[in-house]
Structure 1
């Protein structure tokens, strides 16, 4: 009955607000093609190739010591753990699922790997957030370090009471290797990336429905009564809990500080959680325990980021989007500066509507949402 009720409500909502849903999905589709697929697909292929081929034999020699003594995991887990720390959210889960399918690790070991091998990629954190959002690669690197170090702490804690695994037998990976490892790696990575994009599109449409129906704003007003965060901070927090890429966009529009980004990146959002669990035929970890680990990771990451700020303070970075290359000092004076100013004035006069009509060149302003008396722009994702 509950499933039928949800189905009817979603169908009615899709018919009532089709423009908002299609706009959010179209924006997210553009993000998938321009950022998500290029950044994650190579790491997914490499992670699959490390498990499918005999490359794990050579990688386990320098990295297997850390996997065995630091995380109490077999040597073959070294490459998936590394990919899970630097390659993006599903990369570690993909390697874990392959190891479990091949019988290289037990279900308990796969469960422990999922406790800390779900992290944002280095390119997304440093390039997109550090340079594109904050205008500071150093701040993006600090966010990445806070998330990664907290994941390492979780991994160490998860293996405290586990027995020390025995080293892998020499040549085991070579004996299990089969021809066509690259083909299987590309095929598995393509399937996994397509699944990730599908979940992202689904949650983008769901987020648009929640905003249009006023459910999101109502939840923010209700949480604002607790007095822990401001309404804008609660709005950013809810966006992060739902979907991490939408959370970064909303937090950027709301001017939220980077500490919230540290929590949101480590938590990952429910959309990422479903992507990770969908990598397995039967997930080795229960969803409540996985959610608890994600919350612990988020809190540890926020604490690590705050501690880094105390140890090595940084100048406050703006969350406004960076428009690199706009400012040209050589055009700020002289005849070139005057000509540039005249051209800008002419363009402005063309875009301003006259008394009798509207200009077709004028772009519509952003839609504002009022949350507990505070207005902020709604970002189509």
Structure 2
């Protein structure tokens, strides 16, 4: 399977150089114009918090809810907070940094990473809310659903039956070597630059893949909706032009925000592998997150059809047809992910 996929990509790069070149331009433009301006400050903040010991200030107010809800140690607080607010893949970057510094055990780091890797509020409000629906209120609601379902996902997949011995060992700044601020700052900048380069590389690769599969998707009814499975930002951009009611677009956008796209998931894996952060079940957790977010959004559109501009009522017959098409697309997405996971297990 690995040989087949490698040969297929090699052949595609040789046979379609123009599409690949356009994909590279798309990816670099996306990274420079949207991703890095929003993410790089959080990459730097993550490194500074972990290396300076400032993260300990976050552990006091978060210690009790983390222990009670998720059986996580106080030292997990920076990854939880930055993962829920910083945007993809700040949660994984912070978790990997905490694991590298010895603040978290491998098992605890894996549990944190399973649910604390989310889109940022600016991304949800700016790109999804204003960009697709013309409503910051709708974007804020999407972010609220996104975070709520992330926390619920953590309760389902990240809470062990019993506290682990490793997580009862307190972590203090004294366990880290003392360094000057200049040394800490330089190390944080270097780590942020390496993370930014990883994000840019994966965005570019998946934009190339999107360019290669576009001719196929364009011949499938609503096939362009699959773009978000590969790359989140491109997939949300495609939603704007789909001939679907806003309520269906909202549900699909909610799923994509939770799932994150394969580009985000590979970014997380690239950041996790060098420090030995386990990634088993990560894709399944993101799939669960997306499915729960979509279900909650669909429920809200049914219960309160006029609460937000995106819930504006439409023709019932047209809405029913579009809901059927949406659920067909969602089933196809789930089957694609499930099939890919089975194939990966056989490699």
The TM tier, using the shorter chain, reads 0.7 to 0.9
Q: Given the two structures, how large is their TM-score scaled by the length of structure 2?
A: 0.79
1:332-381 Cα shifts (integer Å, max 9, x gaps): xxxxxxxxxxxxxxxxxxxxxxxxxxxxxxxxxxxxxxxxxxxxxxxxxx
**d(CA) in 2 for partners of 1:123, 1:55:** 24
> Match for residue 173 of structure 2?
173
1:20 CA drift (Å) = 2.1
1:81-126 Cα shifts (integer Å, max 9, x gaps): 1110011111110111111112221111111112101111111111
Instruction: Note if 1:188 corresponds to 2:176.
Output: no
1:63 CA drift (Å) = 2.1
> Match for residue 251 of structure 1?
239
1:40 CA drift (Å) = 0.4
1:51 CA drift (Å) = 1.0
**d(CA) in 2 for partners of 1:55, 1:47:** 10
Matches within 5 A, 1:50-129: 50-129=49-128
SS in structure 2 of the partner of residue 55 of structure 1: coil
1:308 CA drift (Å) = 3.5
Instruction: Note if 1:274 corresponds to 2:263.
Output: no
**d(CA) in 2 for partners of 1:40, 1:72:** 29
Stretch moving more, 136-145 or 245-254: 245-254
Matches within 5 A, 1:360-379: none
Matched-pair contact (CA < 8 Å) for 1:66–1:78: no
1:13 CA drift (Å) = 2.6
**d(CA) in 1 for partners of 2:38, 2:243:** 26
Instruction: Note if 1:317 corresponds to 2:310.
Output: yes
> Match for residue 153 of structure 2?
154
SS in structure 2 of the partner of residue 285 of structure 1: coil
SS in structure 2 of the partner of residue 307 of structure 1: helix
Matched-pair contact (CA < 8 Å) for 2:92–2:116: yes
Matches within 5 A, 1:169-248: 172-176=172-176, 177-179=178-180, 180-212=183-215, 214=216, 216-217=217-218, 220=220, 231-232=221-222, 234-236=223-225, 238-248=226-236
**d(CA) in 2 for partners of 1:178, 1:194:** 26
1:129 CA drift (Å) = 1.7
1:212-244 Cα shifts (integer Å, max 9, x gaps): 4x3x457x4xxxxxxxxxx31x531x2121111
SS in structure 1 of the partner of residue 263 of structure 2: helix
Change (3 A) 1:4 1:307: closer
Matched-pair contact (CA < 8 Å) for 1:67–1:75: yes
**d(CA) in 1 for partners of 2:125, 2:162:** 34
Q: Say which one has the larger Rg.
A: 1
Task: Give the helix-richer structure, 1 or 2.
Answer: 2
Matched-pair contact (CA < 8 Å) for 1:57–1:174: no
Matched-pair contact (CA < 8 Å) for 2:92–2:117: yes
**d(CA) in 2 for partners of 1:291, 1:197:** 21
Aligned with residue 285 of structure 1, among 278, 291, 300: 278
Stretch moving more, 31-40 or 252-261: 252-261
Matched-pair contact (CA < 8 Å) for 2:232–2:261: yes
Change (3 A) 1:110 1:133: same
1:124-161 Cα shifts (integer Å, max 9, x gaps): 11112212221100100111111100011111232152
Gaps of 5+ in 1: 221-230, 319-381
Change (3 A) 1:283 1:249: farther
Q: Given the two structures, how large is their TM-score scaled by the length of structure 1?
A: 0.73
**d(CA) in 2 for partners of 1:41, 1:268:** 18
SS in structure 2 of the partner of residue 117 of structure 1: coil
> Match for residue 324 of structure 2?
none
Matched-pair contact (CA < 8 Å) for 2:83–2:116: yes
Matched-pair contact (CA < 8 Å) for 1:44–1:94: yes
1:301-354 Cα shifts (integer Å, max 9, x gaps): 112223333554434439xxxxxxxxxxxxxxxxxxxxxxxxxxxxxxxxxxxx
1:267-298 Cα shifts (integer Å, max 9, x gaps): 011111110011122554345x1121111111
Gaps of 5+ in 2: 312-347
